[in-house]
Structure 1
């Protein structure tokens, strides 16, 4: 299993290129998102992820392997029981390494 490796968040194309040059060429690049518009990158992390099928459209397809195991078992990432799970998601392939770019989180009054 790959441990989480954090990098300074890239702010420019040049910084992103330097970061990408350090990573395996077959690593996925994923982003998190919420609602609409655009945000700056707050963190960049190389980590292992598991793809899942059968997810609602508002959820991403990839989870950390431990969160994916909970989702497949019918428990969400916050460890709450899913009340009406419908068909549970299924793992797709094996876990892979991905560069995850997380958006900045701002206070509501900013």
Structure 2
């Protein structure tokens, strides 16, 4: 992977983590918080795995391929859950998750 591709993936991971954290925070403020429980759970999972993969890339971990495969799975799950909700923050999060999943597939 070239440095430029590496930098692009790190940026995409960071953007996804940020979108998931924003979605999580916004979901906490929704009227029917119980309905948002799975969305919030997956937001946390996705933000954490994106952050971890970003750090792994920066330190040139030998487990990048495996971590990227897990990141794809979690990003897709989070994106699919967020897509179910009509809230703008969920839709933006879903888009970011799907973009990140696609980017991670290139190294998984």
- Shorter chain as denominator, the TM-score bin is under 0.3
User: Which structure has greater strand proportion?
Assistant: 1
From the two aligned structures, give the one with the greater helix fraction: 2
